[in-house]
């Protein structure tokens, strides 16, 4: 995975579009995802790109709720959306959980995993976004859309 410096602008050149905290409640995910979609629509981001960002954020927030917070609504998840001068967008999802090792996840397209009822979230994020970085503790994901 490329180092953060390869993503172009440093953090101090990014403009904040959104900064939301939400309880770790499955029912709270949709509102944040929809707000981000609406924000990107106002910026005239094309529909295809909005869809891909929305689904990636949906998956990142769902992972944070279920795995980062154990479905405990007393815990908070933070979701930031920033844009770079070159039009690139980064979404940062942070949870208070212990994190995970993204390199140890099984391939959801291999063998019996294809028929599993879980285990596709991180794979989808990586497919939908242009660059994905997991924080060293695994409890923060930075997702870039170019």
Partner 1 sequence: MDINVRKRAQVQVVQLRGPLRMGAAVDGLRQTLQEALNNGDTNIVLNLAEVSMIDSSGIGLLVRFLADTKQIGGNVKLVQPNKYAVQTLRLVGVLNLFEVFDSDDAAVESFA
Cβ(83)–Cβ(15) below 8 Å: yes
46 counts as binding partner 1 under rule CB under 8 A = no
* Nearest distance from C-beta of residue 86 to partner 1, angstroms: 25
Give which of 129, 138, 143, 65 is closest to 103, Cα–Cα. Answer: 138
Contacts of 83 (CB under 8 A, 6+ apart): 14, 15, 17, 43, 89, 90
For residues 84 and 1, what is the distance between their CA atoms, to the nearest angstrom? 20
Q: How far is the CB of 23 from partner 1 (least distance, A)?
A: 13
Q: How far is CA 72 from the centre of its chain?
A: 19
Token representation of residue 28: 């709270």
Distances (CA, A) of 94 to 44, 48, 106, 134, 135: 26, 25, 22, 10, 9
- 18 vs 54, which CB is nearer to partner 1? 54
Least Å from the CB of residue 29 to partner 1 = 6
Binding to partner 1 in span 52-81, by CB under 8 A: 54-55, 58-59, 62, 65
User: Does residue 111 interact with partner 1 by CB under 8 A?
Assistant: no
Looking at the Cβ atoms of 18 and 55, the one nearer to partner 1 is 55
Q: For residues 14 and 65, which CB has a smaller minimum distance to partner 1 in the complex?
A: 65
Residues within the interface to partner 1 (CB under 8 A):
26-27, 29-30, 33, 51, 54-55, 58-59, 62, 65, 108-109, 114-121, 123-124, 127-128
């Amino acid at each position: 995975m490329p180092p953060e410096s390869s993503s172009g602008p440093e953090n101090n050149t990014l403009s904040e579009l959104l900064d939301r905290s939400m309880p770790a409640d499955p029912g709270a995910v949709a509102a944040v995802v929809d707000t981000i979609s609406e924000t990107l629509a106002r910026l005239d981001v094309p529909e295809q790109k909005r869809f891909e960002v929305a689904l990636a954020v949906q998956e990142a927030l769902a992972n944070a709720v279920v795995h980062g917070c154990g479905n405990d609504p007393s815990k908070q998840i933070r979701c930031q959306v920033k844009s770079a001068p070159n039009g690139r967008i980064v979404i940062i999802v942070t949870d208070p959980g212990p994190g995970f090792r993204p390199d140890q996840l099984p391939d959801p397209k291999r063998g019996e995993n294809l028929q599993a009822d879980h285990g596709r979230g991180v794979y989808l994020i990586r497919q939908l976004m242009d660059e994905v970085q997991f924080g060293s503790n695994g409890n923060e994901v930075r997702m870039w859309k170019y």
